[in-house]
A and B are shown apart, each in its own frame.
Chain A
Amino acid sequence: MSDGQTNCVKTTCPYCGVGCGVKADAGAKPSGGTTVEVSGDKEHGSNYGLLCSKGSALGETTDLEGRLLQPQVGDKTVDWDSALDVAAKGFKRALDKYGPDRVAFYVSGQLLTEDYYVANKLMKGYIGGANIDTNSRLCMSSAVAGHKRAFGNDIVTGCYEDLEEADLVVLVGSNTAWCHPIVFQRIIRSRKDNPNKKIVTLDPRRTPTAEQSDLHIPLKPGTDVLLFNGLLAYLHQNDKLDAAYISDFTENFDSALNAALSEASDLEAVAAECDVSADDLRQLYEWFADNPKTVTVFSQGVNQSTQGTDKVNSIINCHLGTGRVGKPGASPFSITGQPNAMGGREVGGLANMLAAHMGFDNPQHPKLVQEFWNSPKVAKQPGFKAVEMFDAINDGYIKAVWVMATNPAVSLPNADLVNAALEKCEFVVVSDCMANTDTTRYADVLLPATGWGEKDGTVTNSERRISRQRSFLPKAGDAKPDWWIICEVAKRMGYASGFPYRHQAEIFNEHAALSGYRNAGQRDFDISDLVGISVDEYDGLEPFQWPRVAEVKTTPRMLGDGRFYTPSGKAQFVAVNTEKPAHAVCDEYPLVLNSGRIRDHWHTMTRTGKSPKLSSHLPEPCIQINPAAAAARGIQEDEFVQISSKWGTAAGRARVTKVMRPSEVFMPIHWSETYSANGGVGSVVSPEVDPVSGEPEFKHTPVQLKGMGMGWYGFILSRQPATQYAKKIGERGTDAWVKVKGSQFWRYEFAGSDAIENVEQWARAGFGLGMPEAAASSDELGISIALDDADWIDYRDPSAGVYRAAWIVEDRIEACVFISPTPDLPARSWLASVFAKEELGEQDRQALLLGEAPDPSADVGPIVCSCFGVGKNVIKRAIAEQGCKSAADIGGCLKAGTNCGSCVPELEAILAED
């Protein structure tokens, strides 16, 4: 939708689950290509014009660098017809030969709802299996399962306004400040207006979120259930429960309370077990007890656990016990990771869901769905969840898999196994917008999908708000929308009648129709008010919160009336007791690995890795470790370190910080083999999953940590967009490297264990430069000077193992390389800024090897006294600052003119000038 005056298009951000409204303005670059300006959409109810660092930098990610632009079969570029035929035949063959439960789709919260809908329909209604699962499994399936157990369906009961309205916001396992920045800003802003408002963060790490909270409780990983059971017990013991609500609207309270009392009736003991201060814990409990307007926000720190679902229910229990569900300023609040994880849940794009919030547990639902679809088949039981799916691929049970818009080779736990599984799978189709991800390399068929700015459909955010994500850029190359690709494959598999869509609005219509089909208030998800909307109406659709039925156009809160979607209509308390994480620490693996996002990167960096701005915040994979744990292992800041678990290893820079508890380490999830050597934490993460939700335990893997004992460290900044470069380094004896996108350059950080024999030759070869013919050589130094050479300057301290060089082309920096035996290399910031310079200044050349901005005082000016190398600028400064009045004074200060004396007349001339 254009807003009339400009080409501005209102769309949504493709990153986290906050789902911010974005205004995008595409313009033509004078040099060809497109510029994209983005700003927050002031009218969007989720962000009211705010945007975080990632959203603000969206314009840097829409270029075509690295994009997949043509279909490929094997190594060959082919036309769409051929590629679709191969994809359809491959699936058809596997389906005919092995059956519907032997093929799988692994999809993504990055898909739009319409894409998701047809993928789910193809798998569950036409192929007839349920092996469609999504990367949302990795982030919020425990919340889904917890919601279903408590409310009878997957419902987020509140909205972002509740976070502002609440007097107490408890953030559990959520680095909201970094991972959902706009939600966090809304919370922080509302605290300014409400002096009584309190923010409490429960997180083992002292995150930026914790820093800005009124109270941080750094609980021991895995003790969440105990802590919330302690809260339920406290509320009971202090008579703070809402007895009327409990009796009117809930069931199973007694067993839940008994379970809580059985392990958490003594606050001091709970505090000790959670390894937190009893006073702090009491403070939290008191605040919770005294503030009817309390929202408990929970995220991956809760969900990504082998007891994730129980943790969710332990939180919901406390809200049910106080009647704080779906009321203004009072709700449990699951905040999702991805832009359309919720949309995926709504269409049923998970192995244990069917469609439109219908499931397999109700025997009527498969019938109903098949009837609506008029499909030849319908899945009748759940399929493989994400981790199981890749286990099944690895075991050879699943013969064909289609990965859409996600990068499981990096993001799944036990990633080494995932890579092995994809390697051996008989038939792998990958549709993605990027050409080279760690997953695309396993594809038999590679299908180019449209990316953000090109694709068009709807998404649902964490507060059930459905917004249009609109296209404002032409499709890149031959890229096609995911829904189109799926429908074309479906047609070629013989299912043309089920996939006749000409426009995504038709899919949305069908989706809306299914949500209302024989619903009559039975099912929560209902947007049937929108059935029959035209393409134009769809195009102009304003954001709204579902359900949306004829009489209610938007629904900020749900379940506040105490009516639930359980068979009895009452909310269910769930009795939960603390269970230990699947794997305990041991002598061999004494530390607990926690993993998560950083502020400025998204998932596996296939898009944010293109943005210089976003890559500058935390540019490298790092491993955070407490100072005591680092000292015990002799690990220094900036050293390359390796973490290892039973499942694999990963490497990164040591960041020694008190943010970490003593026996825990943290590593970001974003890095892949595309951007680093062994920087992917997925290889280390335990593949154990929650028995209810199937969500993996990303937050608790026993690991060991050791320094990699690198013999040397280095970095390169290079104007060349050299994707091969890192490989070259790897081949050339480096043991660790990271690639970072900068503004007009690529940065490579690396290290190696064995010394480089001829460092100059090595460095030049990396840029494709040979050694020049020497005009003069020094045998002693082992170096020479050449007449006819690239403009290559260098500095070396061979006995210290230091080498620095810069390559200059047409008076601009082309590349520079720094090598040192220790990680304390010069900061990259100034060097990075030099790439923007059209011309190097006189002082800049040498500063390139110094690695820092030239000091203006280092510019001595033209030399006046050549005996003592005193320049005119220095003399003028001495005259001005030290009051020199004669040549003799200058001599006294600077020695100038006191040796051969030939410059004395010039000194006098300079004195006369002043």
Chain B
Amino acid sequence: MTDKQKLVVIGNGMAGMRTVEELLEVAPDMYDITVFGAEPHGNYNRIMLSPVLAGEKTLDEIMLNTPEWYAANNITLHTGDPVVDVQRGRRVVVSESGLEVPYDRLLIATGSHPFILPVPGKDLPGVVSFRDAHDVDTMLEAAEEHQHAVVIGGGLLGLEAAHGLQKRGMTVTVVHIFENLMERQLDELSAHLLKQSLEEKGVEFEMGEQTHALLGKKRVEALQFANGRKIPASLVVMAAGVRPNIDLAQQIGLHCERGIVVNDTMQTYDPKIYAVGECVQHRGTCYGLVAPLWDQAKICANHLASHGIGSYAGTVVSTTLKVSGINLFSAGQFNGGEDTESLVYRDPKKQIYKRLVIQDNKLIGAVMYGEAADGAWYFELIQNGTDISAARQKLIFGKAYAEPLLEKIAAAA
């Protein structure tokens, strides 16, 4: 044993490992690191499970950290062995297999649970969530033998699952409780175009429908709506959102609300314990996208390294959809609202729609469908609070046309 401090990471996912990577970057020799993961794999890119489901990528292709990487960095990895307890007084973690590992600093990165609708039949075989590689395997098996897939939830994840299953040869129906798909990311018009494109790809939709029960004997066979109507369902994917995984944190008495509450340095109420990723709640917000993880990981690593500079102020999120052939982007306050102005571009034949929302001469939101190449640039404008008045009438036509005007103004200022 060395005299290095000990860091234990609970959760071998993207947030935890990114934090470790950042830490190795700034303080390579500070800690002996031990990682516990519930899943039996190395760290893979969870966002890329959709392309794996769709057959566009393999699991190998989405691996971020292989066992060799852990070895090369002297990290002790325990896969398939979830942590079941933390004895905060002794600063020791206890795993399912009975392993006890002491820590000087503990990082919790347990991610989130899929939200399972509390309906009859939710535990029937053939009902899955879409969270990890195991779920993908389950779905792929179902696709071999069964025909009718129903995805509950017309959000980002649900639509990616629907697309994947459809590409795997299943007939897919998406059941969505609202009238618009991705209502948290799209406005009515872009949501309509998205639905239209997916319909053209063969996906069917049941909009504004509430799931009442899942029916079946040995396996799920049908889905029943609140109004009594039934549709065949030999595979049901629950993709109605995620909840921060705070089971362990609550069990060990860390302060939690919806997520594990952290401060701007990603520290929990126990100063020895940090948390990052989808399990945390920062300034009241729980995130379910990848960009905040990166920001959080950077800050957290900085503090774990005792550099003590940098603080996390939250992340403005943007959305893209990983469905091949569909370009979609949304960010900020895309739905307008009081005292906002909207610029709108429509090309219905080419299924293009863009809306930029402006307030006080600043871009505060954007939603684009059909053509999203400039999304990142708009996102930058939103984050920087750039005054766009000099380029207002060119803004919607993209960076190539509008940026020179903004640069000219900036140069003059």
Interfacial residues, chain A to chain B (CB-CB below 8 A): 775-778, 780-781, 783-787, 789, 791-800, 802, 808, 845-847, 849-850, 852, 855, 857-858, 860, 863, 866-871, 895, 899-902, 905
Is B348 touching A778 in the complex (CB atoms < 8 A)? no
Cα distance A895–B48 in the bound complex, in angstroms: 18
Cα distance A44–B386 in the bound complex, in angstroms: 66
Contacts of A857 in B (CB 8 A): 400
Query: Is B70 an interface position by the 8 A CB rule?
Result: no
Cα distance A776–B64 in the bound complex, in angstroms: 42
The tally of residues in B whose CB lies under 8 Å from a CB in A reads 52
| 30 A-B contact pairs sorted by A residue (CB < 8 Å) | A775-B196, A776-B188, A777-B188, A778-B188, A780-B336, A780-B342, A781-B342, A781-B355, A785-B348, A789-B349, A793-B345, A793-B348, A793-B350, A797-B392, A798-B341, A800-B341, A802-B393, A845-B347, A846-B347, A852-B401, A855-B401, A858-B397, A863-B372, A863-B373, A867-B376, A869-B377, A870-B376, A899-B290, A901-B45, A902-B45
Is A900 touching B45 in the complex (CB atoms < 8 A)? yes
Q: Which of B156-215 contact A (CB under 8 A)?
A: 187-189, 191-193, 196
Cα distance A799–B343 in the bound complex, in angstroms: 9
Query: Is B365 an interface position by the 8 A CB rule?
Result: no
Contacts of A899 in B (CB 8 A): 290-291, 294
Closest 6 CB pairs of A and B: A776-B192, A858-B400, A868-B376, A799-B341, A793-B347, A869-B373
- Cβ contacts B303-332/A at 8 Å (1 or 0 each): 000000000000000001010000101000
* Chain A residue at smallest Cβ distance from B396: A795
* Chain A residue at smallest Cβ distance from B188: A778
Query: Is B132 an interface position by the 8 A CB rule?
Result: no
- Cβ contacts B398-409/A at 8 Å (1 or 0 each): 111100000000
Assess A797 versus B192: contact at CB under 8 Å? Given A845-B350, A846-B397: no
Smallest Cβ distance from A537 to chain B, in angstroms?
66
Smallest Cβ distance from A259 to chain B, in angstroms?
62
Query: Is B247 an interface position by the 8 A CB rule?
Result: no
* Chain B residue at smallest Cβ distance from A874: B373
Cα distance A69–B72 in the bound complex, in angstroms: 93
Q: A775-B196, A858-B397, A900-B48 are in contact. List 12 more A-B contacts (CB 8 A).
A: A776-B192, A783-B344, A785-B192, A787-B348, A794-B345, A799-B341, A845-B350, A858-B401, A869-B374, A869-B375, A902-B51, A902-B57
* Chain B residue at smallest Cβ distance from A795: B345
The CB with the most chain A CB atoms within 10 A, among B62, B290, B348, is that of B348
Query: Is B130 an interface position by the 8 A CB rule?
Result: no
Query: Is B61 an interface position by the 8 A CB rule?
Result: yes
Is A869 touching B372 in the complex (CB atoms < 8 A)? yes
Cα distance A311–B176 in the bound complex, in angstroms: 88
* Chain A residue at smallest Cβ distance from B50: A902
Smallest Cβ distance from A154 to chain B, in angstroms?
59
Query: Is B255 an interface position by the 8 A CB rule?
Result: no
Is A869 touching B376 in the complex (CB atoms < 8 A)? yes
Is A785 touching B345 in the complex (CB atoms < 8 A)? no
Is A791 touching B343 in the complex (CB atoms < 8 A)? no
Q: Which of B359-413 contact A (CB under 8 A)?
A: 371-377, 392-394, 396-401
Q: Which residue of B189, B290, B335, B372 contacts A776 across the interface (Cβ within 8 Å)?
A: B189
Q: Which residue of A789, A797, A847, A860 contacts B373 across the interface (Cβ within 8 Å)?
A: A860
Is A795 touching B343 in the complex (CB atoms < 8 A)? yes
Is A797 touching B320 in the complex (CB atoms < 8 A)? no
Smallest Cβ distance from B344 to chain A, in angstroms?
5
Is B393 touching A867 in the complex (CB atoms < 8 A)? no
Contacts of B374 in A (CB 8 A): 869
Smallest Cβ distance from A474 to chain B, in angstroms?
44
Is A792 touching B348 in the complex (CB atoms < 8 A)? yes
Contacts of A781 in B (CB 8 A): 189, 336, 342, 344, 355
Contacts of B335 in A (CB 8 A): 780
Is B189 touching A785 in the complex (CB atoms < 8 A)? yes
* Chain B residue at smallest Cβ distance from A777: B188
- Cβ contacts B279-301/A at 8 Å (1 or 0 each): 00000000000110010000000
Query: Is B47 an interface position by the 8 A CB rule?
Result: yes
Cα distance A786–B353 in the bound complex, in angstroms: 12
Q: Which residue of B61, B320, B372, B392 contacts A905 across the interface (Cβ within 8 Å)?
A: B61
Query: Is B134 an interface position by the 8 A CB rule?
Result: no
Is A849 touching B344 in the complex (CB atoms < 8 A)? no
Query: Is B346 an interface position by the 8 A CB rule?
Result: yes
Is A850 touching B47 in the complex (CB atoms < 8 A)? no
Cα distance A867–B375 in the bound complex, in angstroms: 8
Is A902 touching B348 in the complex (CB atoms < 8 A)? no
Cα distance A515–B393 in the bound complex, in angstroms: 69
* Chain B residue at smallest Cβ distance from A780: B336
Is B290 touching A900 in the complex (CB atoms < 8 A)? yes
* Chain B residue at smallest Cβ distance from A784: B189
Q: Which residue of A785, A860, A866 contacts B320 across the interface (Cβ within 8 Å)?
A: A866
Smallest Cβ distance from B115 to chain A, in angstroms?
22
Contacts of B341 in A (CB 8 A): 797-800
- Cβ contacts B126-155/A at 8 Å (1 or 0 each): 000000000000000000000000000000
Contacts of B47 in A (CB 8 A): 900, 902
Smallest Cβ distance from B41 to chain A, in angstroms?
17
Smallest Cβ distance from A861 to chain B, in angstroms?
9
Q: Which residue of B320, B398, B401 contacts A867 across the interface (Cβ within 8 Å)?
A: B320
Is B342 touching A798 in the complex (CB atoms < 8 A)? yes
- Cβ contacts B25-53/A at 8 Å (1 or 0 each): 00000000000000000000101100100
Contacts of A786 in B (CB 8 A): 348
The CB with the most chain B CB atoms within 10 A, among A775, A796, A798, A900, is that of A900
* Chain A residue at smallest Cβ distance from B46: A900
Q: Which residue of A787, A796, A863, A895 contacts B344 across the interface (Cβ within 8 Å)?
A: A796
Contacts of A870 in B (CB 8 A): 376
The CB with the most chain B CB atoms within 10 A, among A785, A792, A845, A855, is that of A785
Cα distance A787–B393 in the bound complex, in angstroms: 27
Cα distance A900–B48 in the bound complex, in angstroms: 8
Smallest Cβ distance from B395 to chain A, in angstroms?
9
Q: Which residue of B196, B345, B348 contacts A849 across the interface (Cβ within 8 Å)?
A: B345
Q: Which of B43-86 contact A (CB under 8 A)?
A: 45, 47-48, 51, 57, 61-62, 64
Contacts of B399 in A (CB 8 A): 858
Cα distance A797–B61 in the bound complex, in angstroms: 44
Cα distance A784–B187 in the bound complex, in angstroms: 12
Is A793 touching B346 in the complex (CB atoms < 8 A)? yes
Cα distance A899–B373 in the bound complex, in angstroms: 15
Is B346 touching A783 in the complex (CB atoms < 8 A)? yes
Assess A855 versus B193: contact at CB under 8 Å? Given A780-B336, A869-B373, A899-B291: no
Smallest Cβ distance from B350 to chain A, in angstroms?
7
Contacts of A847 in B (CB 8 A): 397
Assess A789 versus B348: contact at CB under 8 Å? Given A869-B373, A869-B376: yes
Contacts of B187 in A (CB 8 A): 778
Q: Which residue of A780, A845, A869 contacts B329 across the interface (Cβ within 8 Å)?
A: A869
Contacts of A858 in B (CB 8 A): 397-401
Smallest Cβ distance from B407 to chain A, in angstroms?
14
* Chain B residue at smallest Cβ distance from A856: B400
Q: Which residue of B189, B347, B371 contacts A778 across the interface (Cβ within 8 Å)?
A: B189
Is B322 touching A866 in the complex (CB atoms < 8 A)? yes
Is A901 touching B343 in the complex (CB atoms < 8 A)? no
Cα distance A318–B21 in the bound complex, in angstroms: 98
Cα distance A791–B397 in the bound complex, in angstroms: 19
Is B344 touching A795 in the complex (CB atoms < 8 A)? yes
Contacts of A808 in B (CB 8 A): 349
Is A863 touching B327 in the complex (CB atoms < 8 A)? yes
Cα distance A869–B47 in the bound complex, in angstroms: 17
Contacts of A850 in B (CB 8 A): 394, 397, 401
Contacts of A895 in B (CB 8 A): 376
The CB with the most chain B CB atoms within 10 A, among A783, A863, A866, is that of A866
* Chain B residue at smallest Cβ distance from A894: B376
Smallest Cβ distance from B198 to chain A, in angstroms?
14
* Chain A residue at smallest Cβ distance from B346: A794
* Chain B residue at smallest Cβ distance from A811: B349
Smallest Cβ distance from B336 to chain A, in angstroms?
6
